[in-house]
Amino acid sequence: MTRDLPDIAGKDVLMITVDYPPGAADPVHRHDADSFIYVLQGSIVMQLRGGKEVTLNPGQTFYEGPNDVHTVGRNASQTEPARFLVLLIKKQGAPAVLPAQ
């Protein structure tokens, strides 16, 4: 779901679910957005550049700011899937994910 935010000029919100199969991982990336994560199923491992690696379970949350680089994003399990909800508040029309090094 994507919606413009009329009370915040030039911003929209994107809400998606992400499914990690067992053992899945994301490449290093960033979001030019405020990103809010809520774990729905399984366990995921997250880390931002300069931060500590954290393992999140259902009901736990994680935040990434517009300048953060997401260095670790993976399923904590090699045998069970994981699923989480992501809410991105970003510039209107901006891509959800940007490559980073």
Q: What are the domain boundaries of the chain?
A: 2-96
Q: Is the domain 2-96 a CATH 2.60.120.10 member?
A: yes
**Percent of the chain whose predicted confidence (pLDDT) is above 70:** 100
pLDDT in tens, 40-49: 999 999 999 9
Entry pTM: 0.90
pLDDT in tens, 52-65: 999 999 999 999 99
Strand locations in the chain, DSSP E?
A: 2-4, 11-20, 29-30, 33-41, 44-48, 54-56, 61-64, 69-75, 82-91, 98-99
| Phi and psi torsions of 44, nearest 5° | -125, 155
How high is the mean pLDDT of the chain? Answer: 94
Provide the token pair at 86.
Answer: 């992501």
Alpha-carbon distances of 37 from 6, 7, 9, 79, rounded to whole Å: 23, 22, 23, 22
pLDDT in tens, 65-90: 999 999 999 999 999 999 999 999 99
